[in-house]
Amino acid sequence: ASVETAMIFGEIYRHNGEWKFKAIGQGFKGGLGALAQHFGVNV
């Protein structure tokens, strides 16, 4: 069983004026709080 409670499924970004999608699939044990802190958000 997995212990991750939040996940990044992918990124949407622009490259040379074109929209791209990149699959990520990264899980976080601490839920949305851990996910937000990963991106520098103070929780």
Q: What is residue 13's predicted lDDT score, i.e. its pLDDT?
A: 98
Q: Express each pLDDT in 1-43 by its tens digit.
A: 789 999 999 999 999 999 999 999 999 899 999 999 989 999 8
Q: What is residue 2's predicted lDDT score, i.e. its pLDDT?
A: 81
Q: What is residue 1's predicted lDDT score, i.e. its pLDDT?
A: 72
Residues forming a β-bridge with 11 = 22
Q: What type of residue sits at position 34? A: A
Distance of alpha carbon 24 from alpha carbon 15, whole angstroms: 17
Q: What is residue 19's predicted lDDT score, i.e. its pLDDT?
A: 99
